Amino acid sequence: MRADKECYACCVNKAVTLLGQYDVPEHTAAEVLERIRGRLCRAGEDASAPVLMAQAMRMLGELTGITDAFDLPKKKYNELLLGREEAIFDEVMGEEDSFSAALQYAITGNYIDFGAMAEVEEEKLDGLLSDRSGMRLDQEEAARLEQELARALRLVYITDNAGEIVLDKIFLRVMKERYPNLQITVLVRGMPVLNDATMEDAELVGIDKLAAVMTNGTDIPGTPMDGISREAREAMDAADLCIAKGQGNFETLRGCGRNIYYLFLCKCELFVKKFQVARFTPVLSNEKRIVQYA
């Protein structure tokens, strides 16, 4: 999906923030920003926002050595959610509709996004988790997802961010109990970018104990079909359905024609404007039926 003009500014602003956080000297920072702006100006007209962000982060890494800028926040939120995993899982399993509860938690976890937002607040996350049961989703779409999972043999679950993946793990635990014959492949980023989950994060939180985990082979904070590894593409092609978490996966997969259910919170102003909803509104929709986004 083609990036809007706001996406270019977002990429530059993210670089500005990181240059400040890492105390990069002023003359070096100015050169980095000039090079990033030039690179983005030369990007193809059809480039998506995650592709632009990857280009900006690559340039930042090449010129400053900052290649895993969100390492500490990733560890913080992985550990924070791991400490709550069993309590949340027990709560979910105590619900009459454990599937819906786990689904709500999985979408809530999409708040932990240092790419779409300037700051992630632990207090805000606590509030969202506490209000999980009040999350309003498209019930017809949720029912379709349940029905498809019950019939499916293969699912590819495309993750988004560290920390968030602990709540994805809880959702997967519920699916494993409900659909014991379902073969699940979890797709993570191929290398560090923003706070997106990588193989290291998946292994840290134990998702690899539940399902096969595969990297998508790219540092793009999304899943562009023409940019991921052959193995990841083949896994998606063989799946009966995919679940894709987060705005970046939506932006790179939208229009691909595959059977994908998107799960995310509308966090940035562009999504708020396009979907015409309040910030942090949850979205659950299938690729075939999501028509709100222009």
Residue 44: its pLDDT value, please? 76
Q: Are 120 and 112 in contact (CB under 8 A)?
A: yes
Q: In the sheet where 154-158 sits, what is the strand order?
A: 212-215, 183-188, 154-158, 241-245, 260-265, 282-286
Span 143-168, average pLDDT? 98
**What's the mean per-residue pLDDT of the chain?**
95
- Say whether pLDDT at 191 is over 50: yes
Spatial distance between the Cα atoms of 277 and 268, rounded to a whole number of angstroms: 11
> Which residue type sits at 11?
C
Span 141-152, average pLDDT? 97
- The residues facing 186 across adjacent strands are 157, 213
pLDDT bucket at 294, cuts 50 / 70 / 90: very low
Q: Which has the higher per-residue pLDDT, 270 or 65? A: 65
Residue 2: its pLDDT value, please? 78
Spatial distance between the Cα atoms of 101 and 220, rounded to a whole number of angstroms: 30
Q: Are 142 and 199 in contact (CB under 8 A)?
A: no
Spatial distance between the Cα atoms of 18 and 20, rounded to a whole number of angstroms: 5
Span 253-269, average pLDDT? 95
Residue 293: its pLDDT value, please? 54
For residue 284, what is the enclosing H or E element? strand 282-286
What are the pLDDT digits (tens) for 159-169?
A: 999 999 999 99
205 closest CA partner among 235, 232, 233, 171: 171
Span 76-82, average pLDDT? 98
Three-class DSSP category at 58: helix
The CATH-assigned architecture of domain 70-286 is 3-Layer(aba) Sandwich (3.40)
Which alpha helices (DSSP H) does 114-154 contain, by range? 122-130, 139-151
Span 190-208, average pLDDT? 98
What are the pLDDT digits (tens) for 210-235?
A: 999 999 999 999 999 999 999 999 99
What are the tokens at 58? 């690559």
Measured between its terminal Cα atoms, the distance across the chain in Å is 10
In the chain, domain spans:
5-64, 70-286
